[in-house]
């Protein structure tokens, strides 16, 4: 007797749409009631819908995902989840955009399992290396932009003329930093930052 077919969808932010993943899973086909969706960051696996799906998964079931990065955000996480699903739960995994990552095809024979695990390790490593390369390129891009004088974040407020008189009063202790900030209509920490030349 064949088991249940489940699907898992993850989008990283609440604004991202899951339609493409849902359509791909329904085409597999996975019944809509068996599709679990998390609209959360993938930085950890305390995702409620994923955890619920994992608790339902039994030997002989199939878990379908559109891509391998739905299982995790880095090399270790993906391998851990793969091990839990295929070894502990003894369920099959189907990765739609990588047809060779389909444990149903390898069956339970040693060579098939070894090949699927080997391919998974290589892909997980490549995916993580690419993320690290992207992060490095972003860092280098930001550093280069700073050297060109590009300012990041909100533009700094222009220091008004009145500040210098209030600073002098504050230094003579005739006014508090809170009162000076109130008169300038700024936050107290902004006033103190200006005082310290930052």
Number of folded domains that form the chain? 2
In a domain, 152, yes or no: no
Give pLDDT, residue 198: 64
188 in a structural domain: yes
Q: Is residue 39 part of a domain?
A: yes
For residue 34, tell me if it sits in a domain: yes
Query: Is 53 inside a domain boundary?
Result: yes
Does the residue 142 lie in any domain? Answer: no
For position 2, what pLDDT does the model report?
Answer: 67
User: Buried (b) or exposed (e) across 44-77, using 16+ Cβ within 10 A?
Assistant: ebebebbeebbeebeeebbbbbbbbbbbbbbbeb
**CB neighbours of residue 105 within 10 Å:** 13
Domain span at 9 = 5-131
Residue 69 shares a structural domain with residue 166: no
CATH code, domain carrying 110: 3.40.50.1390
Same domain flag for 115 and 170: no
Instruction: Indicate if 126 and 183 belong to the same structural domain.
Output: no
Catalytic residue positions, numbered: 12
Final residue of a structural domain among 115, 131, 147: 131
Quick check: is 177 in a domain? yes
Note whether 101 and 171 are same-domain residues.
no
Same domain, 74 and 113: yes
127 and 167, same domain (yes or no): no
Nearby residues of 115 by Cβ (< 8 Å), 6 or more positions away? 106
DSSP characters over 108-175: T-HHHHHHHHHHHHHHHHHHHHHHHHHHHHHHHHHHHHHHTT---SSPPPPPPTHHHHHHHHHHTTSS
Helix or strand or coil: residue 32? helix
Same domain, 9 and 106: yes
Do 93 and 21 share a structural domain?
Answer: yes
> pTM of this prediction?
0.60
Per-residue pLDDT of the chain (198 residues; tens, 9 = 90+): 468 999 999 887 666 678 899 999 999 999 999 999 998 755 555 689 999 999 999 999 999 999 888 888 777 888 889 889 988 999 999 999 988 788 886 555 666 667 777 877 787 777 778 778 888 988 888 888 888 877 776 667 788 889 999 999 999 999 999 999 999 989 888 888 888 876
112 and 166 inside one domain = no
User: What is the per-residue pLDDT for 1?
Assistant: 43
Query: Are 121 and 177 found together in one domain?
Result: no
- Tokens found for residue 117: 């695990």
Q: Exposed (0-12), middle (13-18) or buried (19+): which is 78, by Cβ within 10 Å?
A: buried
Instruction: Clarify whether residues 119 and 59 are in a common domain.
Output: yes
Strands 62-65 and 35-39: unpaired
């Amino acid at each position: 007797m064949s088991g249940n077919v489940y699907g898992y969808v993850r989008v990283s932010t609440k604004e991202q749409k899951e339609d493409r993943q849902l359509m791909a899973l329904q085409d597999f086909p996975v019944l809509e009631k068996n599709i679990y969706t998390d609209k959360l960051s993938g930085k950890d696996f305390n995702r409620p819908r994923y955890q619920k799906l994992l608790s339902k998964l039994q030997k002989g079931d199939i878990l379908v995902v559109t891509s391998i990065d739905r299982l995790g955000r880095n090399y270790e996480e993906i391998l851990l989840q793969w091990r839990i699903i295929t070894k502990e739960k003894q369920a099959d995994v189907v990765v739609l955009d990588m047809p060779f990552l389909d444990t149903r095809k390898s069956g339970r024979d040693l060579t098939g399992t070894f090949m699927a695990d080997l391919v998974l390790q290589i892909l997980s490593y490549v995916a993580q290396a690419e993320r690290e390369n992207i992060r490095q390129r972003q860092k280098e891009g930001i550093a280069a932009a700073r050297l060109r004088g590009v300012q990041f974040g909100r533009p700094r407020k222009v220091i008004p003329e009145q500040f210098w008189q209030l600073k002098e009063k504050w230094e003579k202790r005739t006014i508090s930093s809170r009162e000076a900030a109130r008169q300038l209509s700024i936050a107290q920490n902004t006033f103190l930052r200006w005082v310290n030349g930052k």
